[in-house]
Amino acid sequence: MQRHGNALLTDVSLRVLPRQIVTLVGPNGAGKTTLVRVLLGLMSADRGAVRRRSGLRVGYVPQRFTPPPSLPMDVDGFLRLAGPSTEPQRKQRLADNGANDLLRRPLRALSGGEMQRVLLARAMLREPDLLVLDEPAQGLDVQGQQEFYALIARLRDASGCGVLLVSHDLHLVMAATDEVVCLERHVCCVGRPEDISVHPEYLRLFGRDLTGLAIYRHHHDHHHDLHGNIVPDAAEGRTAHD
Ligand SMILES: Nc1ncnc2c1ncn2[C@@H]1O[C@H](COP(=O)(O)OP(=O)(O)OP(=O)(O)O)[C@@H](O)[C@H]1O
């Protein structure tokens, strides 16, 4: 996929199965959001195909949502915008997310963590087969992120939906994910966390200290030109870089 002569995504392939949590990690500008937008049908790729199971329902949780001042509504009003639902259903979705007391709260009064739970409740009201979350825990503290990822895993267990999660927080998502896909405009590395966490290639890509806060080190046998195209290092006599 190219835009304005820049290669945004090249040779990307990924699959999300029912009940599976797939986490997309990669540095800033790696194309994670672009890939999510292609998968959601909001952008079209120049080549390739997106295959959806027939009748697939998708729930989406964006990176962040700031309600405009011109939208004075409470949480219940916001959830009603998601589509037809009853008040007990809306209450239940909030309760599932540990946000029981937020139904009558003005949307603009919510904390960052509360807003993410409301956005998740809104996505789950659609009873999705696939839940897509683009860096949903950004802005939460470490404990808040851990709780949020654990909540996503519980919702997956309860509903059986597949989950595609975008995250920078490799060390936190490791516990909650079934498969990690590392993207830097192409797929650098993919596998089950327990397998790739001991794989030399994975350690080379992400650093060795997986017990503490993971140090995000990204090693390559190639580099990218100014347009994002992949250039093998051997072609220019370069050595691998961090
Ligand atoms: N429509 C577009 N036209 C041109 N360039 C674009 C377009 N959309 C995205 N880009 C560029 O593509 C690159 C990838 O952007 P994207 O938002 O997908 O990355 P990301 O991995 O989600 O980054 P971050 O972690 O910073 O959110 C960026 O350099 C961005 O400027």
Give residue limits of the domains in the chain.
2-57+128-236, 64-127
* CA pair distance 130, 236, nearest whole angstrom: 43
Answer whether 197 contacts ligand 1 (Cβ < 6 A). Answer: no
DSSP-derived secondary structure for 99-168? -GGGTTSBGGG--HHHHHHHHHHHHHHT--SEEEEESTTTTS-HHHHHHHHHHHHHHHHHH--EEEEE-S
- When the pLDDT of each residue in the chain is averaged and rounded to a whole number, the result is 82
Answer whether 185 contacts ligand 1 (Cβ < 6 A). Answer: no
Task: Give tens-digit pLDDT for 67-102.
Answer: 887 778 999 999 999 889 999 999 999 999 888 899
pLDDT surpasses 50 at 236: no
In this prediction the pTM is 0.81
Answer whether 226 contacts ligand 1 (Cβ < 6 A). Answer: no
Report the pLDDT value the prediction gives residue 241, as an integer from 0 to 100: 41
Closest of 130, 208, 221 to residue 170, by C-alpha: 208
Task: Give tens-digit pLDDT for 15-47.
Answer: 999 999 999 988 788 899 999 999 999 999 899
Q: 2-57+128-236, what's its fold?
A: Rossmann fold (3.40.50)
How high is the ipTM of this complex?
Answer: 0.93
